[in-house]
Amino acid sequence: METKQKARYVRKIRRRYGFDEEWLVDPIGLSGGLALWWLDSIKVDILFSSSNIIHTRIDGGEFSAPEYITFICRPPVEDDRCLCWQEITRISKNITGSWLCLGDFNYILFSHEKLGGRPRAWCKI
């Protein structure tokens, strides 16, 4: 989840909701910041982390889970969005098992999906 909060505050919330483990990325200024929380019964290895992506390998134990899960919070700046897509593409080339990508992509696939405003710039991946 995007937090927009410093680690100290996010840790306090994690403890309140009963999660055992965490991975945090501090915000830059008033934007960004990521938090991933999980229970001890699930083994999570952080394979890559940036201001917009947390890429993990999961061993769900008794729970069925994809082998890889990538959590994404799209950047607000257009140029950074393209870099984020390039990073996701790079990650995808190393996936050998099941993979789930989730988060706030805030992205359209086709120009006809957008109404009004400036034309959308397309990333070259």
The pLDDT, as a whole number, for residue 69 is 94
The pLDDT, as a whole number, for residue 3 is 58
> Is-contact 33 27, C-beta < 8 A?
yes
Residue 26 maps to a domain: yes
Residue 61 maps to a domain: yes
Residue 59 maps to a domain: yes
CA separation (Å) from 40 to 8, 10, 19, 24, 101?
20, 18, 8, 16, 22
Q: Domains in the chain: how many in total?
A: 1
Residue 1 maps to a domain: no
pLDDT in tens, the chain (125 residues): 555 667 888 889 999 999 999 998 887 766 677 889 999 989 999 999 998 899 999 987 777 888 999 998 877 667 677 788 889 999 999 998 899 999 887 666 777 777 777 766 666 65
Residue 2 maps to a domain: no
pTM > 0.85: yes or no: no
Residue 98 maps to a domain: yes
Residue 119 maps to a domain: no
Residue 120 maps to a domain: no
Domain span at residue 35? Answer: 7-113
Residue 79, SS3?
A: helix
